[in-house]
Amino acid sequence: MKELPVRKVMRLKEYDYSSAGYYFITICIKNRHELLGEIVGDAALGVPPGKLTKVGTIVRQRIERINTSSHCQVDNFVIMPNHVHLLLAIKSGTPRAASPTKAAIPQIVNALKSLTSKEFGESIWQRSYHDHIIRDEFEYRRIWQYIDNNPATWTNDCYYVVKHHEH
């Protein structure tokens, strides 16, 4: 199967991704394959929004372990069928990274991707990831709500792939 094109992600050149603050991160499964789970209910009606696969459970466990780090915590997250949204907080006191790839955010994302792929037995993630530096409380609250509501709006999501059923 041909790999879907990956949008070129531009990091802010002079920004230190180890800086204290809040970050919205989206990590996608290669070719948007729904390896992590499925949306099984209607969150608005109080039905559980999703059911994780074995791979999705591994991803959840790895995300929960991020909070054991002294410099970073996951404030909110959602595991969708083919992507993950994370709301990360980098605490103050994190030293400036020696290079962009050694900064806290790329290190966290790369560790999550490599550890889950290793447990799964093959690489499952797209090459890059999307990041957004959260600039104020309004934006933080809007992103928190977006993460919470993501399962309920799955069929309208930009990562949703329409399944064609064969007869």
Strand partners, 89: 22, 73
**Domains in the chain, ordered, with CATH?**
21-153 (3.30.70.1290)
pLDDT at 137: 95
> Mean pLDDT per segment of 10 residues, for the chain of length 167 residues?
44 67 95 88 54 92 84 92 94 62 84 93 92 93 94 87 65
pLDDT at 100: 55
CA 85 to CA 47: how far, in whole Å?
A: 21
pLDDT at 96: 62
pLDDT at 7: 45
CA 44 to CA 153: how far, in whole Å?
A: 10
pLDDT at 19: 82
CA 22 to CA 73: how far, in whole Å?
A: 10
pLDDT at 155: 85
pLDDT at 130: 93
Torsions phi, psi of 46, nearest 5?
Answer: 85, 10
For the record, the structure tokens of 11 come out as 């990091």
